[in-house]
């Protein structure tokens, strides 16, 4: 694996609390672009961004169409659209069919980011109630990136991390509280 | 860059990129449809979905069929356009059209509206209903265009799965609809069919934003979540097309998450409601 340049994070049920904890413990001088795809029932992620910003050590913004991924910034996928990363490392949106009943789909984000960042990408799968993200995480690993999965025993909803382990496997399978220290170590060697 | 002729194995992803490029080239040379200016990540995803749905092994298999089987083209276009929408999607946008745009349109004796990229027509019927309820439909003309013939046919029929009706009814009310959406469709088995009277001022026509020119003189252009699939230059070209189609002071309505930050032609438009991506043709008033 090359020096990581981006981190993509996927979660659904129980995701907000998990993200709050994760982002509260990241070092504020991380140089990676961070992108979050969370299944949310609400029509916008405005509130979610606000809540995360209260805990996060890094700035939190809604990912904006065509905008470049910014280092040291947490980008949240907008509600109702798939979020993709282009090879030129800018965001793109789509309203294509739902994938695994979800839009945004974690697989769609992970697949495209895996192509754009290849072995400079870290994929993280947290708590969640379905199997979205598992195929995408497998793609990240095939492209030389690194996979971190929350220990299902530690997750509020175990289905998503379990599916990720089954389909993609992981380089690290650790409890939530250990993920931020791990990312800090991997990203700021 | 690899040395020419070097035997280094190519990553699957790189090989697929080459195949997609050849496929896009074949589609253009053989059939005249140019997808080379589409945003690559989504396009690639759709092409790979075609590989699955057509039950072939590689993108190159698609290319072969595309070149040698003329009857294969509609399936390809259908797969590449994936027209997904709903009635009154983003109800607040339709509410804003009704409250802030229609009163201006009402000052014209004849109202021309261009719905560019109408897909299966959900927004065409949404618009017709809103115009009807505002008392403006009688002097309105909606031009609904798409490059996909199947989609146009579908739009003309106005038949949709009944399971959508519940969400669409909620959207309709949130958009400020004054009746019940059920007043505008008949339900039968698993399907609903929109009242065909709603079509009486709609002209459905084939138009390709990538290659075709100005379509009509319009007072309002609706083009939501179409340009998100275009590269920066094609997005900009299309905005210029809309500019040249609109009367001075005419309105443009895009999808609520679309960005004009990389389009020089955006300078010709002034936001009316920036959050909802409703613009007006004309210079920005005051500084900035």
Looking at residue B6, its pLDDT comes to 54
Structure tokens at A67: 């905008």
Report, as an integer, the average pLDDT of A112-138: 97
Beta pairing partners, B271: B279
- What sign does the CA torsion over B5, B9, B14, B16 have? positive
Cβ–Cβ of B45/A95 closer than 8 Å?
no
Statement: residue B285 has pLDDT above 90: no
- pLDDT digit string, tens, across residues B98-157: 999 999 999 999 999 999 999 999 999 999 999 999 999 999 999 999 999 999 999 999
Residue B288 pLDDT grade (very low, low, confident, very high; cuts 50, 70, 90)? very low
Beta pairing partners, B111: B140
Statement: residue A187 has pLDDT above 90: yes
DSSP state of B4: T
Cα B117 from chain centroid (whole Å): 3
Beta pairing partners, A90: A68
Looking at residue A189, its pLDDT comes to 72
DSSP state of A81: S
Statement: residue B1 has pLDDT above 50: no
ipTM attached to this prediction: 0.94
Report, as an integer, the average pLDDT of B268-285: 91
- pLDDT digit string, tens, across residues A15-65: 999 999 999 999 999 999 999 999 987 888 999 999 999 999 999 999 999
- pLDDT digit string, tens, across residues A140-167: 999 999 999 999 999 999 999 999 999 9
Instruction: Tell me the CA distances in angstroms from A151 to A138, A159, A169, B258, B275, one per residue in order.
Output: 17, 11, 12, 37, 40
Report, as an integer, the average pLDDT of B12-20: 89
What SS3 state is found at A44? coil
CB burial readout B76-92, b (16+ within 10 A) else e = bbbbbbbbbbbbbbbbb
Mean residue pLDDT across chain A:
96
Closest partner CB to B257 (pick from A93, A114, A115): A93
Residue A109 pLDDT grade (very low, low, confident, very high; cuts 50, 70, 90)? very high
Looking at residue A100, its pLDDT comes to 83
B79, closest residue in chain A (CA to CA): A96
Looking at residue B286, its pLDDT comes to 46
Mean residue pLDDT across chain B:
93
> Which alpha helices (H) appear in chain A, and where do they start and end?
15-24, 46-55, 106-117, 134-142, 159-167, 176-187
Cβ–Cβ of A97/B84 closer than 8 Å?
yes
C-alpha–C-alpha distance, residues B272 and B288, integer Å: 15
Looking at residue A15, its pLDDT comes to 94
Phi, psi dihedrals of residue B126, rounded to the nearest 5°: -60, -45
* Contact by Cβ (8 Å): A5, A144: no
Cβ–Cβ of B46/A115 closer than 8 Å?
no
C-alpha–C-alpha distance, residues B113 and B187, integer Å: 28
Q: Which of A107, A111, A132, A154 is catalytic?
A: A132
C-alpha–C-alpha distance, residues B152 and B66, integer Å: 22
Give B263 to chain A, closest Cα distance, Å: 10
- pLDDT digit string, tens, across residues B25-42: 999 999 999 999 999 999
Cβ–Cβ of A66/B259 closer than 8 Å?
yes
Looking at residue B7, its pLDDT comes to 56
Catalytic (active site) residue A12: yes
Report, as an integer, the average pLDDT of B11-20: 88
CB burial readout B237-252, b (16+ within 10 A) else e = bbbebbbebbeeebbb
Statement: residue B193 has pLDDT above 60: yes
Statement: residue B170 has pLDDT above 90: yes
Catalytic (active site) residue A111: no
Query: What residues of B are in contact with residue A93 (Cβ under 8 Å)?
Result: 225, 228, 257-258
DSSP state of A186: H
Question: Closest Cα to residue A46, out of A36, A61, A67, A33?
Answer: A61
């Amino acid at each position: 694996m090359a020096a990581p340049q981006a981190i993509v994070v996927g979660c659904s049920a129980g995701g907000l609390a998990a993200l709050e904890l994760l982002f509260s413990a990241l070092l504020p001088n991380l140089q990676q672009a961070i992108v979050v795809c969370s299944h949310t029932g609400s029509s916008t992620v405005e509130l979610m961004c606000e809540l995360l910003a209260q805990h996060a050590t890094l700035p939190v913004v809604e990912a904006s169409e065509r905008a470049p991924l910014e280092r040291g910034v947490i980008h949240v996928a907008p509600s109702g659209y798939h979020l993709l990363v282009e090879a030129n490392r800018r965001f793109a949106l789509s309203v294509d069919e739902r994938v695994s009943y979800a839009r945004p789909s974690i697989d769609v984000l992970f697949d495209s980011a895996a192509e754009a960042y290849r072995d400079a990408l870290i994929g993280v799968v947290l708590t969640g109630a379905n199997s979205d993200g598992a195929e995408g995480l497998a793609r990240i690993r095939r492209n030389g990136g690194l996979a971190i999965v929350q220990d299902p025993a530690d997750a509020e909803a175990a289905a998503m991390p379990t599916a990720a382990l089954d389909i993609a496997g992981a380089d690290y399978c650790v409890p939530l509280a250990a993920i931020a220290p791990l990312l800090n170590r991997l990203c700021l060697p | 860059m690899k040395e020419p002729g070097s035997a280094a194995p190519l990553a699957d992803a790189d090989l697929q990129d080459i195949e997609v490029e050849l496929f896009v080239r074949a589609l253009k040379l053989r059939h005249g449809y140019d997808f080379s200016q589409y945003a690559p990540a989504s396009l690639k995803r759709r092409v790979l979905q075609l590989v699955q749905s057509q039950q072939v092994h590689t993108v190159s298999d698609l290319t072969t069929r595309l070149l040698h089987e003329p009857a294969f083209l509609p399936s390809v276009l259908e797969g590449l356009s994936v027209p997904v929408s709903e009635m009154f999607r983003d109800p607040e946008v339709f509410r804003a059209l009704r409250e802030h745009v229609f009163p201006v349109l009402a000052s014209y004796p004849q109202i021309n509206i261009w719905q560019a990229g109408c897909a299966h027509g959900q927004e065409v019927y949404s618009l017709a209903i809103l115009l009807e309820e505002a008392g403006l439909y009688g002097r309105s003309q909606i031009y609904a265009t798409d490059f996909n013939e199947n989609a146009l046919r579908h739009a003309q029929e106005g038949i949709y799965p009944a399971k959508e009706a519940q969400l669409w009814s909620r959207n309709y009310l949130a958009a400020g609809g004054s009746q019940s959406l059920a007043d505008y469709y008949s339900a039968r088995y698993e399907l609903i069919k929109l009242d065909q009277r709603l079509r009486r001022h709609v002209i459905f026509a084939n138009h390709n934003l990538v290659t075709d020119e100005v379509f009509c003189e319009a007072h309002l252009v609706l083009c939501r979540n179409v340009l998100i699939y275009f590269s920066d230059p094609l997005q900009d070209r299309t905005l210029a097309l809309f500019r040249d189609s609109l009367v001075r002071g005419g309105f443009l309505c895009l999808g609520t998450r679309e960005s004009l930050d990389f389009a020089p032609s955006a300078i010709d438009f002034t936001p009316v409601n920036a959050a909802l991506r409703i613009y007006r043709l004309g210079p920005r008033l005051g500084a900035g």
